[in-house]
Amino acid sequence: MMTRDEAITLIQNKVPNDNLCRHMIAVGAIMRHFASRFSADPELWEITGILHDIDLGTTDDPQLHGNLGAEWLGAMGMPPAMLQAVRAHAGHVPCESPLDTVLLAGDQLSGLITACALIKGRLLANVTADTVRKRFKEKRFAAGADREMIRLCETVGIPLDEFIAEGVTAMQRVAHDLGL
């Protein structure tokens, strides 16, 4: 398994878009946090989050996105569970494990939390779980953050309120890397 720093360097080389790289770091932080609920490997979960959109600098074709990334990661020797999660987050295969589901839900949650930070002085420190819960109900706010996908956390036993609150805390821990 590569280290967090190696994963970040890799995406910065592959994905020439700072916002996208920050998004991937945010998802990584959320993943690392929730690994403990499943007694899972926090490194695997965080690196999966950081690398999940690695192919987006190369393709935005929905048929390729996710499959191409998984292919690259397979060639780098990354574990099958990571490749499966990357394919599942792009809808190519069904979710089979908490890793898959938390990636799918966390991907969307990170977008909602980032949008909340942007209207709170661009600072995650100003974002509370309450802010995000209220905005979750406002369908027009950050409409790209799919609320039904965020709710999938409940299918692996994480209540929505906890998913939001702990997602905020997880992102606050890497606020510096996110520039928020």
Binding-site ranges for Fe ion (CB under 5 A): 53, 107
Which CB sits closer to Fe ion, 53 or 100?
53
Output the residue with the shortest Cβ distance to Fe ion: 107
- Number of C-beta neighbours around residue 94 at 10 A: 9
Within 17-174, where are the H helices? 18-35, 42-51, 67-75, 80-89, 98-118, 129-137, 147-151, 160-173
Which CB sits closer to Fe ion, 107 or 166?
107
Give the angle subtended at the CA of 67 by the CAs of 80 and 177, to the nearest 5°: 80
Q: How far is the CB of 11 from Fe ion (least distance, A)?
A: 11
Q: How far is the CB of 49 from Fe ion (least distance, A)?
A: 9
How far is it between the farthest Cα atoms of the chain?
43
Q: How far is the CB of 55 from Fe ion (least distance, A)?
A: 11
Q: How far apart are CA 93 and CA 87, in angstroms?
A: 6
Which CB sits closer to Fe ion, 21 or 158?
21
- In 3D space, the residue among 92, 110, 117 whose CA is nearest the CA of residue 166 turns out to be 110
Which CB sits closer to Fe ion, 53 or 55?
53
Contact predicate 72/54, CB 8 Å: yes
Which CB sits closer to Fe ion, 17 or 126?
17
Q: How far is the CB of 148 from Fe ion (least distance, A)?
A: 16
Q: How far apart are CA 163 and CA 34, in angstroms?
A: 9
Q: How far is the CB of 41 from Fe ion (least distance, A)?
A: 20
